[in-house]
Amino acid sequence: MKKILVTGATGQLGSEFLVLASTYTHYEWTFADRAEITLDNLELLQSQLEKNNPDIIFNCGAYTAVDKAESEQKLAFEVNHLAVELIAKYSAKKNVKLIHVSTDYVFDGKSSIALNEEAETNPINVYGESKLAGEIACLKENPESIIIRTSWVYSKFGNNFVKTMQRLMQERDEINVVNDQVGSPTYAADLGQAMIDIVESSKWIPGIYNYSNEGEISWYEFALSIKEFGVYNCKVGGIPSSSYPTPAKRPSFSLLDKSKIKSVYNVKVPYYKESLKKLFI
């Protein structure tokens, strides 16, 4: 029985894997939270990996506080770069299959067409810089690894945009949401299924892949869909990013082209509304 190690077990994606694991019982699953896999202590991390001795690693653990990263640069790079480098080295040495999760924030947002895996990277915030450094280190230390870039992740677990909107729409009569940042949301359960599909496949083709749900929308349009499914009475207005300043800049366009993962692994990519609806059933 092959052993799968999931880092970041209490995060959105890690929590969805806990649900998916009940369907995939032919694997031995280990769910490691911060206590079991410490991504900001490299010495400890090395021994923790040796102790777990997995066949497959789903590296879902990350520093994801985008705004906080601007003032916690060292910690962001430790978790998103140096820990990934170590995990990649370990997986290469032990011949472990590694799927590492990255982000659309490696892009600067200046594109006007869906970004494929070859698109030029140019992060505009510390979080994006740390994640790109992790990608580069991952492929350098283990060229056989797979990286999946995703965007706007949400789930029924953890903190995310959907849950924030649900709360605000019940608390307030009116809210404003930025309407000039375009991309596509990702239901974490769909991303988890895609990662399992890759492992279940008869082939292993390393490199970078994109995965998000289908649809090209703004955060404002996403909020309108949440309002629709939640049947909330709250009025939702659209505002420019300049009206909602944050410590970290966000890419204004980060729609991901999913052609590669669909053609190589025959992964099904649902339309974003199909997946969003599941949170309201």
Q: DSSP assignment, residue 80? A: I
Distance CA 51, CA 88 (A): 16
- Residue identified by tokens 């790109």 is 132
C-alpha separations of 112 from 25, 107, 123 in Å = 43, 12, 16
Q: Is 127 a catalytic residue?
A: yes
Distance CA 261, CA 271 (A): 15
Distance CA 149, CA 126 (A): 17
What is the DSSP secondary-structure string of 161-207? HHHHHHHHHHH-SEEEEE-S-EE--EEHHHHHHHHHHHHHSS----E
What's the token pair of residue 137?
């280190």
Distance CA 15, CA 4 (A): 14
Distance CA 6, CA 11 (A): 10
Q: Burial-class residue 240 by CB neighbours within 10 Å (0-12, 13-18, 19+).
A: exposed
Torsion angle in degrees (nearest 10) through CA of 279, 257, 129, 180 = -70
Q: DSSP assignment, residue 130? A: H
User: Which listed residue (90, 105, 127, 187) is catalytic?
Assistant: 127
What's the token pair of residue 232?
């909330």
Instruction: Write out the catalytic residue numbers.
Output: 127
